[in-house]
A and B are shown apart, each in its own frame.
Chain A
Amino acid sequence: MRRMMRSAVVATAALLAAATLGACSGGSSGGSTDAGSGDYKGPKVTVAFWNGFTGGNALQLVPKLIDQFNSEHPNIVVKSSPMQWDDLDAKMPLALKAGKGPDLAVAHGEDVATYAAQGLVLPADKTVKTLGYSEDDFPTSVLASGRYDGHQYGLPWSVTPLGLFINRTALSEAGLDPNTAPTDAASTKQALEALKAAGRQGEWVSGYRYNDGLEFESLLWQFGGDLFSKDLTKPTFNSDAGVQALTYMTDKIKDGYSPPNVAEGGTLKAFITGDSAFSWQGVWSTSDPALQGVDWTATAVPLIGTQRAVRTGSTDWMFMRNKNQDKNKTAAAVTFVQWMNAHSLDWASTGELPALNSVREDPELLQKYPKLAPFIGELPYARYYPAKPGIGAVIKLITPGIDEAMLGKKTPKQALDDAAVQAEQLLKRNESQYGG
C-alpha cells in the first residue's frame, strides 16, 4: 500500500510533467495566413490592442481616437492596453503563445523581426498592397525594417527622433539670448559655460535607457561609429567613436554642466523646472502636459561629432497570431489600422511623427503642431536600429554600461567593452536560437 501510494504520487507527477512538456514543445508555425485587407463587416468583435504609447500626452489622446473609431464602427470595439514598452515586451510573447495575447499591437521597428521569427505575427502583405505602401512612402529603411523572411510583418506607423529641448526662461535668467540655440560642440560648450557662470548646471545627463541611451547612440553615429558590424554578428559600439560619444556625456558631469547621480526621468524633470536649460529628449515629450507652464522650444540636436545623425525610433502595427487566432478579430484590427492610417495626421498630437511621408509633409500638420518642425527637419539624417531577430535584447545590454560610466564606476572604454563582451555572446545565442 505504502509503495503503491508512493508510486501513485510519482506517476501523477510524471504524467503532469509529460503533459506540460508535450504541450509546450508543439510547433509554433501554423499556416501563414495573411492578415488580409478590407472592411470588416462580420459580427461584433472586441479587438485587444496592446501598445507602449505612454510618453507625453498619449495616455489622454489615444483613447479619444479609439472612442471615435468605436463610435463610427458599431461592430468593432477596440480595447487599448497601454503599458511601458518594457512591460509589453515582457508579457506579449508568452501571452500570444497561450492564446491570451492581443489581436493587434504596436511594437518598435527593431522588434518586428524578433516577433516574426518567433511566429507571433501574421504577415500583412495583402494589407500593405491594399494600402498601396511602397518604400518611397516612408523615411529610408523604415518599411524594410518590418520585413522578415520575404514577408511584410510590420506596418510603419510613427517615427520618433530626439531633439534638443531648450528652456528659454533658464537661458534668459542666465543672460543668454533665448532665441539662439547651440548647433555644434563649440557653441554648446560656450552656452554651458555661460550658464555655469550664472550658477546653473545647463544640461543634465544620466544613464538610463530612455533618452540617455538614445543620446549615446546618436553621438555614436555622429562620431562615425555604429552599433554592430555590417552583418550584425559583432558589437562595435565600443569603438573609438563609442568611447568619444560616452566620454562627451560623462564630461558633462566632470565639467560641472550636470550633477552626478541623476535619476531616471531626472533630465526631463530638471528641464521642466528650469534647473537645466538644455536636454536631449524624444519628440514624444513635446506633448508632455507638464511642459505647459514652461517657456520652451526645441531644435535639431547639435552636431557634436563629425557627421549629422540622430537616433530615431520607429513604431509598427503588427497583427498578432495568438494560438487559435480569431480571423474576425484580425479583420477588424485591419479595419482599425486602415482607419487610423486615414486619421494619422491627428497622431501628431501625441508628439510622434506620422511615418507616412504624405501625411507628415501635409502643410496642415505643421500648422496644427508647429513645435514638430525641427524634428521633421532631422529626418533626412535620422538613424534607426537595425532589424534582426533578438537584436532588441542585445541593444538593451548597452544601458547598464552607460549607467556605470555615468556614475563613474567604470571608464567609458571599460564600460562599453564589458557591455560588448556580453552583447557578442547574446548575438551568438540569437544566432543559434533563431538561425543566422
Chain B
Amino acid sequence: MASLPLAPATSPASRLSRAAGRGRRKTLTAYLFLTPFLVLFCVFVVAPIITGLWVSLHDWNPLLPRQPFVGLQNYIELFTPGSLTSGDFWESMRATAIFTIASVPFLLVVPFALAVLLHQKLKGGTVFRAIFFAPYVLGVAVIGVIWKFLLDPQSGTLNKVLGAMGLPDSIPWTVDVPWVWISLVGVTVWWTMGFNTVILLAGMQGIGSELYDAAAVDGAGVWRKLTGVTLPGLRPVFMFITTTSILASANMFGQSFLITAGAPGDESRTAIMYIADQGLKQSQMGAASAMSYILFACLAVISVINFRLQRERS
C-alpha cells in the first residue's frame, strides 16, 4: 500500500480526498458483497429479535381483533407462583435442564470412547465410522417413530426382549420418570453420537505422532498417553462439541414430542415444546415470546459460565 515517492504533483489535500474516494469505493464494494447476506440477516434475525421483544409486551393472540399492550405483565406472570402459565413453564424449564444435564456428559464420553476405538487404525475402521454416523442422517422424526414403537412399555420390543432374558419386562420407558429420561437420553445418544465421534476422531488424528512417541520414550502406558497427550490435545475440540451439545440439548424438541409426548403428566415436556404449544397452538404469542426470552437469558448465563470454566482450565 505504500505509495511510491513520486514528485508531489498533487497537493496533500487533494491526495487526501482521493484516498477518501478510494475508501468510499472500497466500502461500497464491500457492502455489495455483504448485501445478500445482510438482507436475510436483518429480516430473519435482527428484525425478529426486536419484534419478539415487542410482541412479548402485548397480550398477543393473532386470532383476536386486538392485541392490547400489557407492559411487562407476561414476564411478571411467569414469575408469579400459581399463575396460569408459571407452573407449567418452570416445569418445562426443569425438563430442559434435566435433559441437558443428563445428556451432555454422555454426548461427550460415549463419542470419546468410540473415537478412541476407531483411532486404533484397524482395518474396516471407516466402515464402522460410517455405521456409527448413520443414525444421524435419518432425522429426528424417523428416530422418534422408530423408538416410540420399540420402547412401548407393553407392546414394545425392548421390554419383550428383556423379559425373554429373564429381566424386568414392564419398565415404563415412555410413561414414567425416571425411565422417560433414560429413554430420551439414550435415544439422543444413539442418534447423534456419530456426529461428535467423527469430530473427536479428526481431532485425535490431528495430534502429531511425535507427541505419542515422546510419551512412549518416557515410558507412558495407554492410560498415560490418553490423559497426558490425547485429552490435552483435544481441548479446543472438546470446547467446541461441549458448546454445541449444550445448545442442541437445550433445544431438544422432537424426541419428547414424538416419544413421550410430555409424559408423565407434563414432566418431560421441554421448554421449547411448551413455548411452541403456547405460541403457535394456543395462539398466546405474547406469553410465548416472553418465555423464549427468559429461556434465552438462562442459556446466555450458562454459555458464559461454560466459557469461563473452559478458559480457566486451559
Contact = CB atoms under 8 A, between A and B. Distances in A.
Interface of A: 1, 9, 12-14, 16-17, 20-21, 24-25, 27-29, 89-90, 93-94, 97, 118-120, 207, 259-264, 266, 269-270, 273, 275, 393, 400-401, 403-404, 407, 409, 421-422, 425-426, 429, 433-434
Contacts of A24: 62, 67
A87 to B, nearest CB: 9
Contact of A429 (B66, B84, B176): B84
Given A16-B42, A25-B66, A263 B280 contact: no
Contact of A262 (B42, B51, B153): B153
B265 A263 contact: no
Interface of B is mostly: loop
A94 B64 contact: no
Given A12-B42, A120-B63, A407 B154 contact: no
A403 B264 contact: yes
Query: Nearest 9 A-B pairs (CB), nearest first?
Result: A261-B172, A425-B84, A16-B47, A90-B281, A118-B63, A400-B265, A404-B265, A261-B175, A17-B51
A16 B84 contact: no
B154 A270 contact: yes
A103 B172 CA distance: 42
A409 B65 contact: no
Given A263-B152, A409-B265, A16 B82 contact: no
B170 interface: yes
B264 A404 contact: yes
B165 to A, nearest CB: 20
Nearest to B279: A94
20 contacts: A13-B42, A20-B47, A25-B67, A28-B63, A28-B64, A89-B281, A120-B63, A207-B264, A261-B176, A263-B153, A263-B175, A266-B153, A269-B154, A393-B282, A401-B265, A407-B176, A407-B264, A421-B82, A422-B87, A422-B88
Interface in B24-67: 27, 42-43, 46-47, 50-51, 54, 59, 61-67
A116 to B, nearest CB: 11
Interface of B: 27, 42-43, 46-47, 50-51, 54, 59, 61-67, 82-84, 87-88, 152-155, 170, 172, 174-176, 261-266, 280-283
Contacts of A262: 153-154, 175
Contacts of A407: 175-176, 264-265
A421 B86 CA distance: 13
Given A25-B66, A433-B64, 16 more contacts: A13-B46, A20-B47, A24-B62, A25-B67, A27-B65, A28-B63, A89-B281, A93-B283, A261-B170, A261-B172, A262-B175, A266-B153, A270-B154, A407-B176, A409-B264, A425-B83
B29 to A, nearest CB: 14
A266 B172 CA distance: 12
A118 B282 CA distance: 12
Contacts of B88: 422
Contacts of B43: 16
Contacts of B59: 433
B46 to A, nearest CB: 5
Contacts of A1: 27
B93 to A, nearest CB: 17
B265 A266 contact: no
Contact of A263 (B50, B174, B266): B174
A419 B71 CA distance: 28
Nearest to A261: B172
Given A29-B65, A393-B282, A400 B54 contact: no
A429 B83 CA distance: 11
Given A118-B63, A429-B84, A403 B51 contact: no
Nearest to A423: B84
Contacts of A400: 262, 265-266
B234 to A, nearest CB: 39
Contacts of B263: 264, 403
Nearest to B283: A93
Contacts of B261: 264
Contacts of B282: 393
Contacts of B42: 9, 12-13, 16
A254 B263 CA distance: 21
Chain A CB within 10 Å — which of B174, B263, B265 has the most? B265
Nearest to B281: A90
A92 to B, nearest CB: 10
Given A118-B63, A393-B282, A403-B263, A13 B154 contact: no
A94 B285 CA distance: 11
Contacts of A21: 51, 54
Nearest to A266: B154
Contacts of B262: 400
Contact of B62 (A14, A89, A94, A263): A94
B273 to A, nearest CB: 12
B47 A17 contact: yes
Which of the listed residues A14, A17, A90 has the most CB atoms from chain B within 10 Å of its own CB?
A17
Contacts of A9: 42, 46
A266 to B, nearest CB: 5
Contacts of B154: 259, 262-263, 266, 269-270, 275
Nearest to B66: A25
Nearest to B24: A1
Nearest to A267: B154
B153 A94 contact: no
A93 B284 CA distance: 12
Which of A14, A97, A261, A262 neighbours the largest number of chain B CB atoms within 10 Å of its CB?
Answer: A261
Nearest to B44: A16
Contacts of B281: 89-90
Contacts of A120: 63
